[in-house]
Amino acid sequence: MTFVQVIDYETKRFDEMNSLIDRYAEQTAGKRTVTHTLIGRDRDSKTHYVDLVEFPSYEEAMRNSQLPETDRMFQEMVALCDGMPKFMNLDVVRDEYLNKLVVNRFLEEVVGKGNFDAIEDCIAANYVTHDIMEKTGEGHGREGIRKTVGMWRGAFDMTFDMTRQIAEGDCVTTLWDWKGTHKGEFMGVAPTGKEFTMSGCTTCRIEDGQIAEDWWYYDAPGLMRQMGMMPG
């Protein structure tokens, strides 16, 4: 279970605190078990800060606390604070990155199942795509995504499996594996009934809860070779 330590403190010396954190990160490279840190400053009290430090588990956090660098950092941190920092230890019981939800719905429902009713919820009206096979601009907007997905689903009975996903800021990147049985004409090639495979990744930028822009990278040459459109 993911574990988060919350550190609540007051300091007028945040620049020094920031430098201390940078030194700690450098000194503990390859040893620390921290996976993510976030520091927030209180808008109503400019000397009030809250740090969130994430670990894979409570046990990993305890292992990290035993590093001599961690103890030294704590002593130096206390010296920079106005009073003793307050600590809260949290077991994470729900971890949900909301931008992932809209991307997953788009990839699972629209691309994977051909449920075009979900497009209005997932795709912004001014949606722009950067697809390695899209050069004309016809793929932009909600109508563009209908045409693009419709083309693929009209040519293949396909499955679309997400294998890994990373989210940061307003972007979500998904690695995926694709498998399709060739049932309809695709780029001038008559249906063969054969099964083809391909892998790739898609990065989506979220704006106001919808996908405003995306980038598709996939092994199009490999697919074309499988289909006999290019030499092996």
Domain ranges of the chain: 3-91, 98-226
pLDDT in tens, 154-180: 999 999 999 999 999 899 999 999 999
When the candidates are 1.10.3720.10, 3.30.70.100, 2.60.120.10, 3.40.50.970, the CATH number that belongs to 3-91 is 3.30.70.100
Residues in the chain: 232
Pairing outcome for strands 123-131 and 210-218: parallel
Specify the CATH class of 98-226 in words.
alpha beta
Q: How far is CA 184 from the centre of its chain?
A: 33
The pair of three-digit structure tokens given for residue 184, joined into one six-digit string: 């309809």
**Among residues 230, 222, 225, which one has the least CA distance to residue 200?**
222
Sheet of 86-91: strands edge to edge? 36-41, 48-55, 3-10, 86-91
For the whole prediction, is pTM greater than 0.85?
A: no
At residue 232, the pLDDT reads: 64
Asked whether residue 4 carries a pLDDT value surpassing 90, the answer given is yes
Calpha distance 9→53 (Å, rounded)? 14
Q: Which residues contact 159 (CB under 8 A, 6 or more apart)?
A: 112, 178, 179, 180
User: What are the angstrom distances between the C-alpha of 62 and each of 50, 66, 85, 89?
Assistant: 20, 7, 18, 11
Asked whether residue 25 carries a pLDDT value surpassing 90, the answer given is yes
Quick one: average pLDDT of 146-153?
Answer: 94
